[in-house]
Amino acid sequence: MDGDDILDAPEGKTALEILNKETIDLLFVDWNMPKLNGLDLVKIVRKMEKYKDLPIIMVTSEAARYNVLEAIKAGVTDYIVKPITGMTVMEKIKAYM
């Protein structure tokens, strides 16, 4: 795994723990998650000094205008609409790494 670590969190709370412990370079967030949803997670992450400029990519089921607007306001950098494929994910990784 030459130079890249992929970490995985099943829901928002766990993700927050990992984000605190480690330093992450790129974050993919699912909009709908139990306990702490994606939008709230992003709002918290953006308040953390070390993640001011972190590229955050939201995974959403619907790219309605008001959804995108909400996401931008929360501090999301970009988004992917479900269904997601390996291709779309790689495109985003390439764009932000």
The helix (H) or strand (E) run that includes residue 47 is helix 38-47
d(CA 32, CA 34): 7
DSSP-derived 3-state class of residue 36:
coil
Q: Does residue 94 interact with another protein by CB under 8 A? A: yes
Using alpha carbons, select from 60, 42, 61, 62 the residue that is nearest to residue 52. Answer: 42
- Phi, psi angle pair for 79, to nearest 5°: -145, 160
Nearer to another protein, 22 or 48 (CB): 22
Residues in the interface with another protein (CB under 8 A) total 55
Nearer to another protein, 2 or 49 (CB): 2
For residue 1, the Cα-to-chain-centroid distance in whole angstroms is 22
Among 40, 41, 43, 50, interactor with another protein by CB under 8 A: 41
Q: Does residue 39 interact with another protein by CB under 8 A? A: no
Return residues touching another protein (CB under 8 A): 2-12, 14-15, 18-19, 22-33, 38, 41, 46, 53, 56, 59, 63, 65, 68-69, 71-73, 75-79, 82, 84-87, 89-90, 93-94, 97
